[in-house]
Structure 1
Amino acid sequence: MRSVKVEGKRRSENGKKAARQLRSEGQVPGVIYGGKETIHFSANPMALRPLVYTPDFQLAEIAIDGTTYRCILKDLQFDVVTDELSHIDFLELVEDKKVIANLPLKFVGQSEGVKAGGRLEIKVKSLKVRTLPKHLAENIEVNIDKLQLNGNIRVEDVKAGEMEILNSPRIPIASVVMTRALKQAETEEAKGGKK
């Protein structure tokens, strides 16, 4: 699994005034929680970009005062006016402690319904899972080979190995719908058969 290395500096002062001061110096305040202690730190926004502006699920290795913390991204806050990153939260990974994460779905295969002229519609792009850190993956693969025309793949159809999926099992994540051309062809075929 890919990880992004970030150099951070421990913050001595917390609160709005200290955070405002950090932002004026071009730093992003952040916090790491979930481990033995809560660590308040700041980092360069450019170092955080590969974590923030991507659809991929990645680990963050945050180095602060010679200690590296393995984390996952939990929350982001952006300035309402400038749209710049204003705060970032990470959850430290502890080997024997389950974590909740949103993992992107990766659709593999060629749907039978698409081969028949239908159009694949992706309804859900990620699933919320609970698992131990060692079972985390970059994505969850969903095979769509057997997906028929007007068929659905639901959350309950996804095999996630050691991960417990927290989304409602009946939610459709992908379906193959009829295209307008296919509907038109079927209508003309039906009319032709009546004559």
Structure 2
Amino acid sequence: MKSITINGSKRESVGKRATKDLRNAGQVPCVLYGGGEPLHFSAEEIAFKSLVYTPDVHTVVLDLGKGEKFDAVLQDIQFHPVTDAILHIDFYQVLEGKEIAMEIPIHTKGVARGVKNGGVLRYNLRRLKVKGIPANLPDFIEADVTNLKIGNKLYVTAVVSDDYKILHPDNTVICQVKTSRNIIADVEDEEEEVAAGEVPATEVGAEGATTEEGKE
């Protein structure tokens, strides 16, 4: 998994007045948990651009000066309800050999068979919450949708891996192919029906009688 470095500095005061002054100066108050006592620090808001405003996920190296560096992951973030400015960020320290929980983006692979026949691919999830050793966590989880027909669903069990544990029930749906007004017959399904001795629906009249080609 990719990592980015954020330069910051420890906070000497954590009161409301000090926090307000930080924000007025373009700084974001932050807290690092997971390594014992919470560590309060701040960093320029622009430093979080590559971490927050991206669909990708990263681990973070927090460089607080004087040789103090901490490996961490983003845990929680608060935005201003009107301006969307970053108000506060919580980080969780990554310790060697310790598993962490993260939300990993899902990338689909291929074009669903049902989409080729006029269906629409609908996403139920864009990210999966997983748990594992940071070094084993991928940048994204690939989900192959090639064989999905209209009405089919892709469950989280289709993307299991030995590198991480999926923190969703097995019946959780990632995506599904739904019908649409542009639906057409599935050619492969028709070929299977003919091979089995069934008459394709396209060759049957509205009331079950055969069409002109089928009359003597």
Name the TM-score, length of structure 1 as normaliser: 0.89
Q: Structure 1 or 2: larger strand share?
A: 1
Gaps of 5+ in 2: 186-200, 210-216
What's the offset of the Cα at 1:169? 1.6
What's the offset of the Cα at 1:36? 4.5
What's the offset of the Cα at 1:100? 1.0
1:76 aligned to 2:51?
no
Partner of 2:137: 136
Partner of 2:14: 14
Deviations 1:25-60 (A, max 9, x none): 110000111125432110010111111111211122
State the superposition RMSD in angstroms.
2.2
Number of equivalent positions: 193
CA distance in 2, matches of 1:93, 1:109: 35
Deviations 1:123-170 (A, max 9, x none): 110111111222122111111122122100012222233211111221
When Rg is computed on C-alpha atoms for both structures, the one with the higher figure is 2
Query: Among the aligned pairs, what percent are the same residue?
Result: 35
Q: Is the 8 A contact 2:118 2:184 kept in 1?
A: no
Partner of 2:189: none
Name the TM-score, length of structure 2 as normaliser: 0.81
Q: Is the 8 A contact 2:160 2:166 kept in 1?
A: no
Please give the secondary structure, in 1, of the residue aligned with 2:74.
strand
1:94 aligned to 2:95?
yes
Deviations 1:9-31 (A, max 9, x none): 11111132221121111100001
Q: Is the 8 A contact 1:140 1:160 kept in 2?
A: no
Q: Is the 8 A contact 1:101 1:130 kept in 2?
A: yes
Matches within 5 A, 1:1-195: 1-65=1-65, 66-182=67-183, 189=202, 192-194=205-207
Please give the secondary structure, in 2, of the residue aligned with 1:31.
strand
Q: Is the 8 A contact 1:95 1:134 kept in 2?
A: no
